């Protein structure tokens, strides 16, 4: 749970006596983030070119991730990026392939798409891989 603490003001209360007595305290309001934002991809379409003789895990193209804590792996076809406006655990993303064809894998936490098995141009010239991101 991520809490954002904001000091709002000084709260002063007093009585109606004579002389009037009062006391003051700082009023702090803590706002707790809820999972109210959908994750979204930074691009609607990603494209990469892979040679048919690329060995499994061969690096073809790596896009720099936006978050500083995302590791960029060297054996990738492409890194799929998504962002979530929530914070803390509500902003942790998970990437999944929806149409598993066996030729590619996606890293569930980094979104990195990589070659999983041998490619053959004469057999298949174009792959469309659908990736879903969830938080």
pTM over 0.85: no
d(CA 3, CA 9) in angstroms, rounded, equals: 18
Higher-scoring residue by pLDDT: 13, 50: 13
d(CA 79, CA 65) in angstroms, rounded, equals: 7
Confidence bin at 77 (pLDDT 50/70/90): low
Q: 65 pLDDT exceeds 60?
A: no
Q: What is the pLDDT of residues 80-130, one digit of tens each?
A: 677 778 788 887 888 888 876 788 888 888 777 788 888 999 998 888 888
Q: What are phi and psi of 89, to 5 degrees?
A: -65, -25
pLDDT value, residue 59: 58
Can you tell me the mean pLDDT for 50-68?
58
Whether the CB-CB separation of 28 and 10 falls below 8 Å is answered with: no
Q: What is the pLDDT of residues 16-50, one digit of tens each?
A: 999 999 999 988 878 888 888 888 777 777 777 88
Q: Where do the domains of the chain lie?
A: 3-32, 35-135
Whether the CB-CB separation of 106 and 77 falls below 8 Å is answered with: no
Q: What is the 3-state secondary structure (H, E, C) of the chain?
A: CCEEEEEEEEEEEECCCCCCCEEEEEEEEEEECCCCCCCEECCCCCCCCCCCCCCCCCCCCCCCCCCCCCCCCCCCCEECCEECCCCHHHHCCEEEECCCCCCEEECCCCCEEEECCCCCCCCCCCCCCCEEEEC
pLDDT value, residue 126: 87
CATH class of 35-135: mainly beta
pLDDT value, residue 92: 82
């Amino acid at each position: 749970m991520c809490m954002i603490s904001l000091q709002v003001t000084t709260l002063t209360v007093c009585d109606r006596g004579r002389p009037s007595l009062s006391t003051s305290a700082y009023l702090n309001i803590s706002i707790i983030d809820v999972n109210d934002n959908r994750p979204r991809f930074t691009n609607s379409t990603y494209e990469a070119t892979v040679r048919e003789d690329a060995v499994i895990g061969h690096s073809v193209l790596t896009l720099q991730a936006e978050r500083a804590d995302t590791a960029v792996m060297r054996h990738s076809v492409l890194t799929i990026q998504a962002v979530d406006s929530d914070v803390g655990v509500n902003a942790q993303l998970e990437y999944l392939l929806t149409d598993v064809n066996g030729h590619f894998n996606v890293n569930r936490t980094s979104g990195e798409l990589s070659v999983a098995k041998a490619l053959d141009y004469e057999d298949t010239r174009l792959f469309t891989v659908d990736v879903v991101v969830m938080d």
